[in-house]
Amino acid sequence: MEQYRNKMNFEDTAINILLVLAMIMIAFLIIVMFSTFVFGWGTQHGDNKPTEKGCKQADTLKEYARLVDDMKCKGEPELKEFMEQYGHTMNTDQKKCIEHRADLGNELYEDEIMKCYKRHD
């Protein structure tokens, strides 16, 4: 009889632990859904339709990087044009990085610009 009670207590304890874990997971999912819909968390990345026109809105490298990160800017700018427009807002390390990235592939892509901005900010 004693062994039967011990076995029942173990099974009851295991079931209770699983129920508590399931309730915690459900509560976590509800919190995530609530925060996404109410506070708009996770929706900061624009409309996912980046354009070259979106890039023209930036006056500084920082603004350009923000537009790329928000997915409002797309394109492979020519190095010369890019440096004319944003070169005055870059520090020396950023300029060297941008020029090096352009030399590697003869084109300058948004992700390379982002890397140079973040790495040398």
Residues 34 and 84 in one domain: no
Does the pLDDT at position 106 exceed 80?
no
Q: Which residue has the higher pLDDT, 32 or 1?
A: 32
Q: Which domain holds residue 60?
A: 52-119
Residues 21 and 68 in one domain: no
Helix (H, G, I), strand (E, B) or coil at 73: strand
pTM above 0.85, yes or no: no
pLDDT 10s digits, 41-88: 555 555 556 666 777 778 888 888 888 777 777 777 788 888 888 888
Domain count, the chain: 2
Is 41 in contact with 73 (CB distance < 8 Å)? no
Residues 56 and 109 in one domain: yes
Residues 38 and 66 in one domain: no
Residues 14 and 59 in one domain: no
Residues 26 and 77 in one domain: no
Give residue 82's Cα distance to chain centre. Answer: 24
Res 24: pLDDT: 96
